[in-house]
Amino acid sequence: MDLATALEEGDRERACDDDRIEDAAAFGRAYERHKLPVYRYLRARGLIEDDALDLTAVTFERAFDRRRQFRPRDGGLGGWLFRIARNAAIDQHRRRRTEVQATRGAAPDEGIDLAADPAERDRRELHDAVDALPADQRDAVWLRYAAGLTGREIGQVLGKSEAAVQKQLQRALVTLREALE
């Protein structure tokens, strides 16, 4: 199979799956496609690995329960799933406000020498800069760069227009560029 055919088939299959997530196989494929982005989004929100894995499962369990409510328009499956994931994370944060730990990979006392690991240092700096953004911009950055959502999908999650999301991301990037200079 040549690449163009494979791409076309992949797109068709994804669109078809998004239309039919009531079907077990289609739901399973959607789970396979989205589980890592959902996990990364939850980690970006500051959840430790065990909690992020648990909430990834909770996200898909809730999606499965509500699969008949999904309509494959506009924000699409990505927007719908990440709205569930975001709500689940907010619920957990509310329940366990005092327990949620801010973790961005390994903590300094876990043996990583930041001075000797410039990549890890760079990552920490970026996470700290993102954490300092206004809440809406921070959420848009997580959804864009950790979850890989489009502006339209992010709009569906946050209740904003695609253009408003692009503007928020743009402002966030300007702020981050200045903060990291």
Partner 1 sequence: MTDMARLEERLAGAFVVAPDAGFDAVDRRIAALVASPAARPGWRSRRSLPFSRRVRLVLAVGVALLAMAGAAVGAMNIVDHFTSSMGGGTRIALDRGVVLDQRQVQGDYAVTLVRVYSDISQVILLVIVERVAGSGPIPGELLRVELRDPSGALLRPGVGSGDANERQYLELIAFTPASGAGEFTLRLGLEGNGPLPWTFRFSLPVPVGTVMTVDRSATNENGTVRLGEVRLSPTEIRATLHIEPIDRRATWWVAYGYFEHDGQRFDVAGRNPDDAAPFDVPIHGYEGTESASGSWTLVVNELVGEGTDAGQIRPQGPWRIPFSVP
Residues of this chain, 78-137, that bind partner 1 according to CB under 8 A: 87, 90-91, 93-94, 105, 122-123, 126-127, 130
Q: Which of 15, 24, 107, 132 binds partner 1 (CB under 8 A)?
A: 24
Kindly report the backbone phi and psi dihedral angles of residue 147, in degrees, each rounded to the nearest multiple of 5, phi listed first. Answer: -95, -20
13 binding partner 1? (CB under 8 A):
yes
Determine the Cα angle at 32 with ends 87 and 123, to 5°: 65
3-state secondary structure of 96: coil
25 binding partner 1? (CB under 8 A):
yes
Query: Cβ closer to partner 1: 106 or 108?
Result: 106
Q: How far apart are CA 170 and CA 181, in angstroms?
A: 17
CA 170 centroid distance within chain: 18
178 binding partner 1? (CB under 8 A):
no
Amino acid at 103: T
Nearest approach in angstroms of CB 7 to partner 1 is 5
171 binding partner 1? (CB under 8 A):
yes
